[in-house]
């Protein structure tokens, strides 16, 4: 009798847990509140797609940029940085890879080493004020957003 | 001389004006088509072009390092910082250099020559042959460069390069440029300002700086286009490859040496 | 032929574990040195953009070359059917694998990005001898392991010769591949020569055998097993032949380069005014690594003294390290000849101004890493002979040469 009661309670608890998970309230967002991305509905692709596949996009992108010279893709890493970098109270960009910033918040939890920023800039260079001879060749945000929502429709 | 000739011939004037207008209109599309569009590349590079350079050593000025300074600023090499605790002399030997000035004296004639030495962008690059992972590669348009995503830092390409054009990054890079990523543990060298190539700019930082400094010793362009500035310059003056006996068919040629 | 009995190495546990402890400590310190180099970057080493391969590569190439040579003893037993050497086959195979692993470890830990080893193992450019070497080295380990199995497993007797032949050929390819790393380079005056691959093969014979002799003598002395003169003198005489062959190859290499005007400068650098490189060549490579061991081996009295034989083997090893240093680092120190007939007055990148060679000094992390490779190789050997039945119980004269027993 007691056994059945216990099992019944466990079943109810389990069901509630599952339903609660399925109901899926607004997921925690890792986007930094002061970044450009905070003001956008989604990334260059829907958020779910980006969460699972951004590494594939990056891997493909790096090949076509380096070996084929194709630079106008919306998956540009510089584009990610430009959009996701947070700005401090002094309006200066904070390294997107610093502790607690956009990349680290997931990657530290997932314990996946992000190797990119050993070589790639963690802030958009225009803000760094490097007196350059030529342009920064940062991504054209209007062009990127203009290219549309991407695969499978938007997800809030 | 007579008054008749001093009078303006209106008919002739209007004819010339119309003719000039027609000529301009017919030529204009051609002029517009040949202007380089400063836009990021959206199609893969092909071997329809081959980038190269001609360096006229006679015009290379003694003591001038405009090309070196420009390259450093363009590619973030001036952001290199000596590691704390390292001797300055040793750091000089370990910091990355993509282009350097060299001064030579002929043993017999005592004639002095100045020239910039950089990656020669060979057609048969030894550095590409020896790279175990294929990170050192030759792009379709002739640019020899390192794919830093694949480079394992073995430095075999540095052993193999006949021009000692490559540098190894010996310490962590603190400040990086968006247009020229570079980081510890990989090998790098001049890539003919590939970010400029891919964004439609006409030439490289070093060539522009040499022109700005007034020397015009370096000409850059498409070796496969007979009408390009570099092809015309090569056709005009005798030039040669450095270490021509190795038969590498370099993209960078020198005249006056 | 008398049946050879193989037994584990039975020195007292305290001495065995002390040995492992010392070697382990060296390996651990080497690991820390490698970690330091990887974390800080190569600025902490003596390597620069001029001398890009330093002391770790000297150790690594030496160990890899010696590894292939250590297998020679087994090959002589299998391929050349010399009965006396057959019993040494197991130790030979073990030592070969151990030395190769030690050398590879040093090489891999010196990479600018050692965490990308998986990239090196999956992405190949097969025009590069380095890429081929990855297969040659790993294949060697697999083949020698199979070779050891055919020696130890009675049922595998049928495969003993085929696998032995394969191991022999593979070994030659491997050593040629290592020599070709330098031989294929057109850029540098000291390289770009077809003699380096065969020279490396001959060097491997000598270095591998020298290490083998020392390990054999040490193992047998410590465990108080008999090691008869018949076998030891065979090995010693073979070492003499190989050392003479190295001197011969060295002579050809330099004579050929001295013949034409093009390489006179680099030859003058190595042979006359190269400072440390000249000293290492004449004193290390030729004298200590060549003439002295040759003299000892063929000396009527010294050649029969065990201590002198051990000394000769040690000298060959030291000479070998000196040779690697001269080839690898000396070859880089000599400036590239980009402008023949011209003198460089100024350069922004150390191109050999006024003929000056590039600077290099071995740094502590590099030396520690190299020694770590040696330690790892010896650990594998020590554990191997302790745990496996690889050492013949006795190598006394009657066992090695049955005809002697008959004579009484």
Beta-strand relationship, B136-138 and B144-146? antiparallel
Q: How many CB atoms lie within 10 A of CB C291?
A: 15
- What does the pLDDT look like over B205-217, one tens digit per residue? 999 999 999 999 9
- Asked whether the predicted pLDDT for residue A146 surpasses 80, the reply is no
- Asked whether the predicted pLDDT for residue B220 surpasses 80, the reply is yes
The four Cα atoms B174, B176, B180, B181 give a dihedral, to 10 degrees, of 60
Residue A103 to residue A114: CA distance in whole angstroms: 8
Q: A64 vs B177: CB contact, 8 Å cut-off?
A: no
- Asked whether the predicted pLDDT for residue A23 surpasses 80, the reply is no
Print the SS3 string covering chain B: CCHHHHCCCHHHHHHHHHHHHHHHHHHHHHHHHHCCCCCCCCCCCCCCCCEEEEEECCCCCCCCCHHHHHHHHHHCHHHCCCCCCCCHHHHHHHCCCCEEEEEEEECCCCCEEEEEEECCCCCCCHHHHHCCCCCEEECCCCCEEECCCCCCCCCHHHHHCCCCCCEECCCCCCCCCCCCCCCCCCEECCCCCHHHHHCCCCCCHHHHHHHHCCCCCEEEEECCCCCCHHHHHHHHCCCECCCHHHCCCCCEEEECC
How far does B41 lie from chain A, in Å, by closest CA? 5
In the numeric block, the tokens 């970044």 are attached to A35
Candidate from B24-38, B179-193, C234-248 with smallest mean pLDDT? B24-38
Q: B177 vs A70: CB contact, 8 Å cut-off?
A: no
Q: A71 vs B199: CB contact, 8 Å cut-off?
A: yes
- What does the pLDDT look like over C70-115, one tens digit per residue? 999 999 999 999 888 999 999 999 999 999 999 999 999 999 999 9
Instruction: Indicate whether A3 belongs to any domain.
Output: no
Task: Tell me which chain B residues have a C-beta less than 8 angstroms from the C-beta of A133.
Answer: 70, 73-74, 205, 208-209
Residue A43 to residue A45: CA distance in whole angstroms: 5
**Per-residue confidence (pLDDT) for residue B20, from 0 to 100:** 66
Residues 6 or more apart whose Cβ sits within 8 Å of residue C194? C183
Task: Tell me which chain A residues have a C-beta less than 8 angstroms from the C-beta of B145.
Answer: 66
C184 reaches B (C-beta below 8 A): yes
B44 reaches A (C-beta below 8 A): yes
Residue C286 to residue C284: CA distance in whole angstroms: 6
Helix (H) or strand (E) holding A55: helix A47-68
Residue C176 to residue A61: CA distance in whole angstroms: 40
How far does B175 lie from chain A, in Å, by closest CA? 7
Which one of B40, B45, B50 makes the best mutation probe of the A interface by having the most chain A beta carbons within 10 Å? B40
**Per-residue confidence (pLDDT) for residue C406, from 0 to 100:** 56
- Contact in structure between B97 and C49 (CB atoms under 8 Å): yes
- Contact in structure between C331 and C228 (CB atoms under 8 Å): no
Q: How many CB atoms lie within 10 A of CB C51?
A: 24
Residue A86: DSSP 8-state: E
B43 reaches A (C-beta below 8 A): yes
Residue C133 to residue B250: CA distance in whole angstroms: 29
Residue C227: DSSP 8-state: B
- Asked whether the predicted pLDDT for residue A28 surpasses 70, the reply is no
Structure tokens at C187: 């850029």
Q: Domain containing C275: what range?
A: 6-337+355-407
- Asked whether the predicted pLDDT for residue B34 surpasses 50, the reply is no
How far does B161 lie from chain C, in Å, by closest CA? 6
B180 reaches A (C-beta below 8 A): no
Instruction: Indicate whether C289 belongs to any domain.
Output: yes
Q: C112 vs B169: CB contact, 8 Å cut-off?
A: yes
Structure tokens at C30: 């080497």
Burial of C198 (C-beta count, 10 Å sphere; 0-12/13-18/19+): middle
- Contact in structure between C327 and C274 (CB atoms under 8 Å): no
Confidence bin at A132 (pLDDT 50/70/90): very low
Q: A64 vs B44: CB contact, 8 Å cut-off?
A: yes
Nearest to B198 among A69, A133, A135 (CB): A69
Candidate from B11-20, B115-124, C391-400 with smallest mean pLDDT? B11-20
Nearest to B132 among C50, C125, C351 (CB): C125
**Per-residue confidence (pLDDT) for residue B36, from 0 to 100:** 44
The nearest alpha carbon in chain A to B191 belongs to A66
**Per-residue confidence (pLDDT) for residue C244, from 0 to 100:** 98
Which one of B178, B193, B209 makes the best mutation probe of the A interface by having the most chain A beta carbons within 10 Å? B178
- Contact in structure between A146 and A43 (CB atoms under 8 Å): no
- What does the pLDDT look like over A83-106, one tens digit per residue? 898 888 888 888 888 888 888 888
Residue C53 to residue B213: CA distance in whole angstroms: 38
- Asked whether the predicted pLDDT for residue B91 surpasses 90, the reply is yes
Q: Which of residues 311-330 of C touch B (CB under 8 A)?
A: none
| Among C341, C307, C141, CA closest to C218 | C307
B179 reaches A (C-beta below 8 A): yes
B138 reaches A (C-beta below 8 A): no
Q: How many CB atoms lie within 10 A of CB A12?
A: 10
- Distance of CA B58 to CAs B239, B254, C142, C153, Å? 12, 10, 60, 75
- Contact in structure between C398 and C224 (CB atoms under 8 Å): no
Instruction: Indicate whether C342 belongs to any domain.
Output: no
Confidence bin at A149 (pLDDT 50/70/90): very low
Q: B139 vs A67: CB contact, 8 Å cut-off?
A: yes
Contacting chains of A (3 CB pairs or more, <8 Å) are: B
Beta-strand relationship, B112-118 and B99-106? antiparallel
How far does B74 lie from chain A, in Å, by closest CA? 6
Residue C248 to residue C1: CA distance in whole angstroms: 37
Structure tokens at A96: 């997107």
Q: B177 vs A130: CB contact, 8 Å cut-off?
A: yes
**Per-residue confidence (pLDDT) for residue A140, from 0 to 100:** 53
How far does B149 lie from chain A, in Å, by closest CA? 8
Q: A72 vs B41: CB contact, 8 Å cut-off?
A: yes
In the numeric block, the tokens 């990086």 are attached to B176
The nearest alpha carbon in chain B to C41 belongs to B171
Q: Domain containing A102: what range?
A: 27-146
Residue C324 to residue C202: CA distance in whole angstroms: 13
- What does the pLDDT look like over C199-238, one tens digit per residue? 999 999 999 999 999 999 999 999 999 999 999 999 999 9
Task: Tell me which chain B residues have a C-beta less than 8 angstroms from the C-beta of A147.
Answer: none
Higher pLDDT, residue B157 or A151:
B157
Residue A113 to residue C100: CA distance in whole angstroms: 31
- Asked whether the predicted pLDDT for residue A131 surpasses 70, the reply is no
Q: B73 vs A125: CB contact, 8 Å cut-off?
A: no
Structural domain total, chain A: 1
Q: Which domains does chain B have, with CATH numbers?
A: 51-255 (3.30.70.20)
B172 reaches A (C-beta below 8 A): yes
Instruction: Indicate whether A16 belongs to any domain.
Output: no
Instruction: Indicate whether A137 belongs to any domain.
Output: yes
**Per-residue confidence (pLDDT) for residue A53, from 0 to 100:** 93
Contacting chains of C (3 CB pairs or more, <8 Å) are: B
The nearest alpha carbon in chain B to A79 belongs to B178
Q: A131 vs B173: CB contact, 8 Å cut-off?
A: no
In the numeric block, the tokens 């992405």 are attached to C123
Contacting chains of B (3 CB pairs or more, <8 Å) are: A, C
Higher pLDDT, residue C65 or B1:
C65
Structural domain total, chain C: 1
- Asked whether the predicted pLDDT for residue A24 surpasses 60, the reply is no
Residues 6 or more apart whose Cβ sits within 8 Å of residue C231? C84, C88, C395, C397, C400
- What does the pLDDT look like over B92-105, one tens digit per residue? 999 999 999 999 99
C188 reaches B (C-beta below 8 A): yes
Instruction: Indicate whether A78 belongs to any domain.
Output: yes
Instruction: Indicate whether A7 belongs to any domain.
Output: no
List chain C residues with pLDDT less than 70: 1-2, 404-408
Instruction: Give the ipTM.
Output: 0.93
Q: A130 vs B194: CB contact, 8 Å cut-off?
A: no
Which CATH number do you get for residue C359?
Answer: 1.20.1630.10
- Distance of CA C298 to CAs A65, C95, C264, C291, Å? 65, 26, 35, 11
Q: B74 vs A133: CB contact, 8 Å cut-off?
A: yes
Q: A134 vs B44: CB contact, 8 Å cut-off?
A: no
Task: Tell me which chain B residues have a C-beta less than 8 angstroms from the C-beta of A122.
Answer: 176
Work out the percent of chain A whose per-residue pLDDT is above 90.
Answer: 22
Interface of A with B (CB under 8 A): 62-72, 78, 81, 118-122, 124-125, 128, 130-138, 140
**Per-residue confidence (pLDDT) for residue B35, from 0 to 100:** 38
- What does the pLDDT look like over C334-368, one tens digit per residue? 999 999 999 999 999 999 999 999 999 999 999 99
Task: Tell me which chain A residues have a C-beta less than 8 angstroms from the C-beta of B177.
Answer: 121, 125, 130, 132
**Per-residue confidence (pLDDT) for residue C154, from 0 to 100:** 87
Confidence bin at A155 (pLDDT 50/70/90): very low
Average pLDDT over residues B197-203: 90
């Amino acid at each position: 009798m007691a056994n059945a009661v216990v099992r019944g309670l466990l079943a109810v608890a389990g069901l509630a847990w599952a339903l609660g998970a399925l109901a899926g309230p607004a997921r925690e967002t890792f986007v930094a509140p002061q970044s450009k991305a905070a003001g956008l509905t989604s990334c260059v692709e829907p958020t779910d797609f980006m969460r699972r596949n951004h590494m594939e996009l990056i891997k493909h992108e790096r090949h076509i940029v380096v070996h084929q010279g194709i630079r106008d893709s919306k998956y540009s890493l510089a584009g990610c940085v430009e959009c996701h970098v947070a700005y401090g109270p002094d309006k200066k960009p904070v390294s997107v890879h610093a502790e607690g910033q956009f990349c680290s918040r997931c990657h530290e939890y997932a314990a996946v080493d992000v190797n990119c920023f050993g070589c790639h800039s963690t802030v958009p260079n225009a803000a760094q004020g490097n007196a350059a001879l030529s342009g920064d060749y940062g991504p054209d945000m209007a062009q990127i957003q203009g290219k549309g929502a991407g695969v499978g429709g938007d997800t809030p | 001389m007579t008054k008749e000739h001093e009078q303006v011939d209106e008919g002739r004037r209007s004819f010339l004006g119309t003719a000039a207008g027609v000529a301009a209109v017919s030529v204009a599309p051609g002029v517009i088509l040949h202007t380089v569009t400063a836009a990021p590349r959206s199609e893969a590079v092909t071997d329809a072009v081959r980038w190269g350079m001609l360096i006229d050593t006679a015009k290379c000025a003694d003591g001038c390092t405009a090309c070196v300074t420009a390259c450093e600023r363009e590619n973030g090499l001036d952001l290199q910082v000596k590691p704390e605790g390292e001797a300055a002399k040793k750091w000089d030997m370990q910091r990355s250099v993509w282009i350097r000035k060299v001064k030579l004296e002929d043993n017999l004639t005592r004639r002095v020559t100045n020239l910039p030495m950089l990656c020669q962008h060979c057609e048969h690059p030894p550095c590409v042959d020896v790279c175990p992972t294929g990170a050192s590669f030759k792009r379709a348009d002739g640019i020899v460069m390192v794919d830093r995503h694949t480079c394992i830092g073995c430095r075999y390409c540095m052993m193999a390069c006949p021009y000692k054009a490559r540098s190894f990054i010996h310490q962590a890079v603190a400040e990086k440029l968006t247009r020229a990523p570079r980081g510890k543990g990989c090998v790098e060298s001049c890539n003919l300002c590939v970010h400029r190539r891919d964004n439609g700019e006409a030439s490289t930082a070093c060539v522009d700086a040499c022109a700005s400094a007034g020397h015009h010793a370096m000409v850059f362009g498409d070796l496969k286009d007979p009408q390009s500035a570099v092809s015309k310059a090569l056709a005009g003056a005798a030039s040669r490859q450095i270490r021509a006996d190795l038969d590498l068919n370099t993209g960078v040629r020198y005249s006056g040496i | 032929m008398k049946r050879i009995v193989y037994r584990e190495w039975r020195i007292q546990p305290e001495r065995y574990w002390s040995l492992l402890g010392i070697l382990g400590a060296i390996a651990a310190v080497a690991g820390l040195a490698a970690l330091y180099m990887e974390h800080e970057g190569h600025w902490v080493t003596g390597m620069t953009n001029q001398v890009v391969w330093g002391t770790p590569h000297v150790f690594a190439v030496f160990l890899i070359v010696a590894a292939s040579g250590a297998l020679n003893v087994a090959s002589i037993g299998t391929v050349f059917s010399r009965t006396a050497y057959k019993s040494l086959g197991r130790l030979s195979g073990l030592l070969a694998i151990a030395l190769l692993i030690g050398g590879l470890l040093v090489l891999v830990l010196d990479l600018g990005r050692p965490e990308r080893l998986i990239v090196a193992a999956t992405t190949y450019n097969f025009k590069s001898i380095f890429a081929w070497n990855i297969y040659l080295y790993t294949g060697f380990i697999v083949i020698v392991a199979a070779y050891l199995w055919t020696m130890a497993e009675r049922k595998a007797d049928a495969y003993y010769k085929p696998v032995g032949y394969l191991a022999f050929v593979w070994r030659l390819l491997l050593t040629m591949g290592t020599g070709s790393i330098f031989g294929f380079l057109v850029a540098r005056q000291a390289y770009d020569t077809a003699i380096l691959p065969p020279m490396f093969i001959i060097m491997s014979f000598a270095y591998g055998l020298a290490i083998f002799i020392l390990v054999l003598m040490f193992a047998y002395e410590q465990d108080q097993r008999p090691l008869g003169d018949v076998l030891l003198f065979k090995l010693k005489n073979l070492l003499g032949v190989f050392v003479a062959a190295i001197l011969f190859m060295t002579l050809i290499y330099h004579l050929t380069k001295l013949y034409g005007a093009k390489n006179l400068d680099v030859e003058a650098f190595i042979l006359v005014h190269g400072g440390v490189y000249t000293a290492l060549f004449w004193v290390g490579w030729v004298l200590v690594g060549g003439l002295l061991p040759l003299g000892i081996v063929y000396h009527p009295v010294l050649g029969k003294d065990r201590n002198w034989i051990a000394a000769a083997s040690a000298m060959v090893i030291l000479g070998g390290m000196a040779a690697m240093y001269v080839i690898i680092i000396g070859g880089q120190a000599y400036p590239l000849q980009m402008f023949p007939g011209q003198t460089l007055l100024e350069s922004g990148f150390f191109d050999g101004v006024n003929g000056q060679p590039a600077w290099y000094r071995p740094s502590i992390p590099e030396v520690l890493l190299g020694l770590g490779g040696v330690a790892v190789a010896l650990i594998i050997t020590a554990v191997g002979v302790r745990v496996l039945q690889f050492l013949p119980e006795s190598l006394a004269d009657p066992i090695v040469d049955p005809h002697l027993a008959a004579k009484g």
